[in-house]
Amino acid sequence: MASFLGTLFRITTFGESHGKAVGVVIDGCPPRFPLSIEDIQAELDRRRPGQSSLVSQRKESDTIHILSGMEDGLTLGTPILLMVNNEDARPKDYDEMAEKFRPSHADYAYVQKYGIRAASGGGRASARETVGRVAAGAVAKQLLRARYGVEVLAFVQSIASLSTPIDPNSVTQEMVESTPVRCPDSDMAQQMISLIEEARKNGDSLGGVIALCAKNVPAGWGEPVFDKLEADLAKAMLSLPACKGFESGSGFAGTLKTGSQHADEFRSDAEKHVTTLSNNSGGIQGGISNGMPILCRMAFKPTATVMTELRTVDVEYENTTIKGRGRHDPCVLPRAVPMVEAMAALVLIDHALRHEAQCGNC
Amino acid sequence: MASFLGTLFRITTFGESHGKAVGVVIDGCPPRFPLSIEDIQAELDRRRPGQSSLVSQRKESDTIHILSGMEDGLTLGTPILLMVNNEDARPKDYDEMAEKFRPSHADYAYVQKYGIRAASGGGRASARETVGRVAAGAVAKQLLRARYGVEVLAFVQSIASLSTPIDPNSVTQEMVESTPVRCPDSDMAQQMISLIEEARKNGDSLGGVIALCAKNVPAGWGEPVFDKLEADLAKAMLSLPACKGFESGSGFAGTLKTGSQHADEFRSDAEKHVTTLSNNSGGIQGGISNGMPILCRMAFKPTATVMTELRTVDVEYENTTIKGRGRHDPCVLPRAVPMVEAMAALVLIDHALRHEAQCGNC
Amino acid sequence: MASFLGTLFRITTFGESHGKAVGVVIDGCPPRFPLSIEDIQAELDRRRPGQSSLVSQRKESDTIHILSGMEDGLTLGTPILLMVNNEDARPKDYDEMAEKFRPSHADYAYVQKYGIRAASGGGRASARETVGRVAAGAVAKQLLRARYGVEVLAFVQSIASLSTPIDPNSVTQEMVESTPVRCPDSDMAQQMISLIEEARKNGDSLGGVIALCAKNVPAGWGEPVFDKLEADLAKAMLSLPACKGFESGSGFAGTLKTGSQHADEFRSDAEKHVTTLSNNSGGIQGGISNGMPILCRMAFKPTATVMTELRTVDVEYENTTIKGRGRHDPCVLPRAVPMVEAMAALVLIDHALRHEAQCGNC
Amino acid sequence: MASFLGTLFRITTFGESHGKAVGVVIDGCPPRFPLSIEDIQAELDRRRPGQSSLVSQRKESDTIHILSGMEDGLTLGTPILLMVNNEDARPKDYDEMAEKFRPSHADYAYVQKYGIRAASGGGRASARETVGRVAAGAVAKQLLRARYGVEVLAFVQSIASLSTPIDPNSVTQEMVESTPVRCPDSDMAQQMISLIEEARKNGDSLGGVIALCAKNVPAGWGEPVFDKLEADLAKAMLSLPACKGFESGSGFAGTLKTGSQHADEFRSDAEKHVTTLSNNSGGIQGGISNGMPILCRMAFKPTATVMTELRTVDVEYENTTIKGRGRHDPCVLPRAVPMVEAMAALVLIDHALRHEAQCGNC
């Protein structure tokens, strides 16, 4: 129950950080779709550790293997198993962690729940679990683009107190990928890189905010009550490691406006194409897309593993201290960008199929 | 697919704002539980319009009817149907809305999705849909209290720029209910009330932030991957009308801290009872409760209906203007407090049952 | 978890036999569909007790009430609540049953599960629970007919050892409805009626077999693994009260043939329209419809309530005896015909929507 | 949506017959359970082709690989990936099948649904898909035995017209495994073996009936409405390749009895342990187990692939003929026995967890 997501385009991820493999099964993918393996690999490469000095130095090729669901480059409509082997697990780095609970990690909570945990590498609580999400998200992205022209784009908006005022609608993937920190504002990107490098040297870590923009989403996707489009996006984002906040459109800042200031007035052009003059709604009204760009922002806390000594308890619940070891990201945000895009794409393709099922033939 | 929530304690709501009735079916409620109808009614009374001058003046008794699932005051384990009749619908107030889309309302998006809408009263997009949620949430609250001692408490933390610095752990239900605005800080509450009254006189509306605290949640509830406890809370909250943001623990503000500042260090007392020295995690780590209070905050936008003239399009997609009519809340937050508590209780009882199912016998 | 069915066209039933009301919520119905209330009522009238001397004499008008999800005769795409009030409950008839477990009834099993039961009238285990199924099935039937030309027809094939050799493909609804026993073979129908009347006089009861034929189901509905079309039909049928067997196509008799005898050879006509020369597959191959009529048969056991004295235990688990009272069907099959059609229609419309969702745009 | 089963103990299978691998992900397995890999392998060996002359001669070691969800021999509570590589695929045997639809196979229906199929080896419609089911079922069996003492046992009751009258309650696994046909009646087993050998020599195939008995299932498992225990068993069984019929308890034969003959009278012993004098209900009443052995029977049609020439159409829908090739089972029943046990175990463990979730703490 913990490990699947989606109603019609349904994924189940599997694998521990230091187990044999991690991956995903996709059930419900439309048939006869020419899936590009290269595009899946490209997304995994954006997520991969070791891609820059800003992230974990674990060495993983993250080569994708497709074990089922395709033939001659086309999807069969049957479950697609995407798998990546774990190549550079170093369990010895985790000997101390097997005896002590790392503060702000999932270790303690796992043991309270299950009475057992895969101590090495954080098990399923590791960011390595997101390999399956990103691989499945790459499939979703291809479907969204080919069928609907939908583009999903995320970028780093802030690191600690460094924040770019860039307009999400103006950002391109090239701008995002032009620096390893994945902030499309190149001046701000340099400052962010310096700040992260400094945090790493101090054995400390940083958090920040990622913005997401989904363009060309047709009006009508989403559901009006519990499965509101922004509710499902919120869930998908909060399910990512280290994510602690979500806002849609104007979000928390929108609470400072009055209703008349906040209203997104409608205008129609000569072709009766309707848009809104502002987009405080973030492209979603009543849980349903309104044809404007979908905009949301996610807060990621600073990485829990730091190289300073912290107070904690051991597995016998005796007080002790612990100091971080192992290879960790001083800041998860650069690698979280493709994760955020993947989660958004998974939510959107699921709602696209749901919409067609209920309303497609009317 | 739009209208149910939960895995084991599953609810389905039904009803349009100006239809015959609104309500909920609860499937999966444990049997032999002595359910208090009075407590369900009390929660509905907190949600009811007309309870103060701060909220909509629609006159509804919201008297609860239980049509199935109980006998002699005990739950049978079978579906519980809770229903409230609509008594004060005034469809004529909505004649203009049938012809025009209200800005920032769900009207336009509904029509793009379904090709039809219940124009009168906003249909399912009305806050009236939450009657079923609050009724079901009242059942969940009783179960949580009786079985686990869990208390779920929400309150208004800010209205527009007025914000109370009160510690959520110190707030009691009595403090919350002592003013109609449901802010436990009585000085701030008076200012908020004045501000809302002023907005109403101006035909305008206000938003704000609600904080939630759930106490005595045992460590171990939640799931480690997609159904993280905070992910399910985020979804539940964002599914409420007008909610545009969610944060767990330190949330967006936590992105300004470093990892060493943000760490919630563990300490054990003489009885080996473990707590954390801070609670930036908001009681949830790796998606699983850690025994500390669960803390989250939700942003609610200003009510979309305002009494000033706004630009919009009509149902033929011609440009026009519209001015709000009907009975509306100048600020939804006072009534959203019981809704937030209901959603939190529904998520928690579902995870309680899920936890027992998988881990209860180990 | 007990009380909902379907993935996209999802129903939840509620209500006890002697409670205030019984009914169903339909979630996921396509919008803008002109639903005929008369057709729903007509199906309920076929299911109703008291319609002939062959069935229970409980007096219920079973008048349908639609409380949500429709406006001006069209579906809104939102949940449709269909409800029927209970008018003729006679709890006193059940005084003895509150103290003793009726053999072959659900009484004992309910108490073992829940520790409580709605003794009067059998609670949810009563055939009265099927009111909601038949009402929802009537909606499904209308959708299937209007969108796909699919017709779902069931009839009584055998009562005890009386069995008609009629070809299911030749049966019409008029033939089925021409006698109260709902066997389209009029000679056999008369014999069946006599046999049921005799069983009733003896205070005994009879079982039998119902055949179902669904015509014009397009090839391609169903799923290839767990949700095979015949698997979902089997589940739906076995979920009906008193149903103890299901077979698809040649079923149990097919095990007596060899593979070469059993093969449904394909033939194509001048328009390249493909049919099979026989239909041992019952219109389903590999879990997916092949365009031939869907054929299946269901066994219904004799009604458990008989007016003779039987050995049983009381609620203290002491040995005792019990003799049936109350108003019961001497044979459930005539009323089970509309129930069987409803369940088939619910399964088919759900798979129609699922098929469109995954494969509709390819 | 096609490829998962279960509510709390949820499995997703993947893999084509001639793809790289087949397997299953199990989500929701209780943690800290000492899973025996040997027992999983033993079940796969019972399902394996090539184990006797009665079954397909495809050469597969079917060696199980566990890629996630376990550490030090204990389950972690996280998804368990069980995988088997395909070693002996012979795609060339299927060249003709790529051009023509085999009668009574899933080929034609797949193409109507998906517009594509994995022609080689039957893709997902091959019995090879059941590797994942049997592996997951082996986990379920271990849990059922260790936690509840439940034993699930199936055996071949008939092949064509050869049928054993053996009492299911008296059958042991040793008796079943003593002959390759898996009929516990050794005289009848020899006749069945001869008949199957003869069918194979003739290039033909045979069907038959498998009986299942589940002992020590406590009273109270199952759900009263749609997810009745026998409804979920029926679905699970009908989802197996070649299964065309299901009956619970007295099944179709029970329709020949009167209600008074069919009643399972209750008796209580000195310890107030309740049993029934007969078991026409097959251990399930009102969809809920009553503590008696669960008994059901499943019809399996003769294998569709026969070595005689049959009429069919090609992929251009032109009339043609086809003659079977490749390695096939002349009779699926011996290998279907472990499949039937696996499906029963998967249904039972899921209902065990569901029961504990709703009723465990009452």
- How many angstroms separate the CA atoms of D312 and D291, rounded? 49
Q: Which residues of A touch B125 (CB under 8 A)?
A: 224, 286
Asked if pLDDT for residue A361 goes beyond 70, the answer is no
CA–CA distance, D81 with D78 (Å, rounded to integer):
10
For the stretch C166-191, pLDDT in tens is: 999 999 999 999 999 999 999 999 99
Question: Span A143-164, mean pLDDT?
Answer: 98
Residue B18: pLDDT band with limits 50, 70, 90:
confident
Picking from D19, D25, D117, the nearest residue to A14 by CB comes out as: D25
B271 Cβ neighbours under 8 A, 6+ residues apart: none
Residue ranges for chain D with pLDDT beneath 50: none
C-alpha to C-alpha distance for D197 and D55, rounded to whole angstroms: 10
Q: Is the pLDDT of residue C113 over 90?
A: yes
In B, minimum Cα distance to D359 occurs at B30
Instruction: List subunits contacting chain C, requiring 3 or more Cβ pairs under 8 Å.
Output: A, B, D
Taking residues A38-49, report their average pLDDT: 95
Span A168-217, pLDDT tens digits: 999 999 999 999 999 999 999 999 999 999 999 999 999 999 999 999 99
Instruction: Give the domain CATH number at A63.
Output: 3.60.150.10
What pLDDT, on the 0 to 100 scale, is given for residue A138? 98
User: Cβ contacts of residue B167 below 8 Å, gap of 6+?
Assistant: none
Q: How far is B88 from chain A (nearest CA, A)?
A: 23
CB–CB contact D78 A31 (8 Å): no
State residue C362's pLDDT score. 53
**pLDDT bucket at B362, cuts 50 / 70 / 90:** low
Q: Do D306 and C263 touch (CB under 8 A)?
A: yes
In angstroms, the CA D42 to CA B234 distance is 45
For chain C, give the longest Cα–Cα distance: 72
pLDDT at A88: 81
Instruction: Tell which of C18, C67, C120 to mutate to test the B interface (max B CBs under 10 Å).
Output: C67
pLDDT for A56: 85
Residue D361: the pLDDT is: 62
Specify the pLDDT at position D150. 98
Q: Do A83 and D19 touch, CB atoms closer than 8 A?
A: no
**pLDDT at A1 exceeding the cut of 70:** no
Taking CB atoms and an 8 Å cutoff, what residues of chain A touch B4?
A: 226
Q: Are the beta carbons of A14 and D77 separated by less than 8 Å?
A: no
Mean pLDDT of A121-127: 84
User: Which tens digits make up the pLDDT trace of C287-296?
Assistant: 999 999 999 9
Nearest to residue B324, comparing CAs of B127, B129, B100? Answer: B100
Nearest by Cα to A213 from A301, A144, A283:
A283
Question: Is C20 buried (19+), middle (13-18) or exposed (0-12) by CB count in 10 A?
Answer: middle
Do residues A132 and A22 make contact, with C-beta atoms less than 8 angstroms apart?
Answer: yes
Domains of chain A: total: 1
What pLDDT was estimated at residue C89? 76
Q: Is the pLDDT of residue C94 over 80?
A: no
Residue with tokens 């949940």: C79
Give the residue, A251 or A59, on which the prediction is more confident.
Answer: A251
> How far is Cα C292 from Cα C362, in angstroms, rounded to an integer?
23
The answer on pLDDT for B1 being more than 60 is no
Report which DSSP code applies to B280.
Answer: T
Specify which residues C10 forms β-bridges with.
C27
User: Does the beta-carbon distance from D313 to C234 stay under 8 Å?
Assistant: no
> Of C266, C246, C295, which Cα lies nearest the Cα of D243?
C246
Considering only the beta carbons, identify the residue of C8, C12, C32 that sits closest to B1: C8
Residue A349 has pLDDT above 60, yes or no: yes
The CA angle D312-D245-D225, to the nearest 5 degrees, is: 130
- Examine the pLDDT at A335 and tell me if it is beyond 60: yes
What size, in residues, is chain C?
A: 362
At residue C119, the pLDDT reads 73
Query: Is the model more confident about B290 or about B3?
Result: B290
Helix (H/G/I), strand (E/B), else coil: B93: helix
**Mean pLDDT over each residue of chain C, to the nearest integer:** 94
- Partnered with residue A243 across adjacent β-strands are A300
Q: What's the pLDDT tens digit per position in A61-114? A: 999 999 999 999 999 999 999 999 998 877 777 778 889 999 999 999 999 999
The DSSP bridge partners found for residue C310 are: C322
Looking at beta carbons, which residues of chain D come within 8 Å of A98? none
Q: Which partners does chain B have (≥3 C-beta pairs < 8 Å)?
A: A, C, D
Average pLDDT over chain A reads 94
Contact A357 C361 (CB under 8 A): no
D chain contacts of residue C310, beta-carbon cutoff 8 Å: 260, 263, 265
Provide the sign of the torsion angle of the four alpha carbons C181, C292, D160, D174, taken in this order.
negative
Considering only the beta carbons, identify the residue of B104, B218, B291 that sits closest to A281.
B104
Q: How far is C167 from chain B (nearest CA, A)?
A: 39
Contact C361 A28 (CB under 8 A): no
Residue-wise pLDDT for C218-256, tens only, equals 999 999 999 999 999 999 999 999 999 999 999 999 999
Mean per-residue pLDDT of chain B: 94
Q: How close is the nearest chain A Cα to the Cα of C7, in Å?
A: 8
Average pLDDT over residues B241-261: 97
Q: Is the pLDDT of residue A325 over 80?
A: no
Q: Looking at residue D258, what DSSP letter applies?
A: B
Is the pLDDT confidence value at A337 over 70? yes
- Separation CA D226–CA C12 (nearest Å): 9
d(CA A269, CA A248): 26
What does the alpha-carbon distance between residue A330 and residue A203 come to, in Å, rounded to a whole number?
A: 8
Average pLDDT (A14-31) is: 94
Q: Which residues of B touch C (CB under 8 A)?
A: 1-4, 8, 10, 12-16, 19-23, 25, 27-28, 31-32, 65, 67-69, 71, 74, 76-81, 83, 113-118, 123-124
User: Tokens standing for B245?
Assistant: 């943001």
Nearest to B109 by CA among A288, D308, D121: A288
| Whether the predicted model's global pTM rises above the 0.95 cut | yes
H-run or E-run covering B131: helix B130-148
pLDDT at B218: 97
Q: Which domain holds residue A136?
A: 4-359
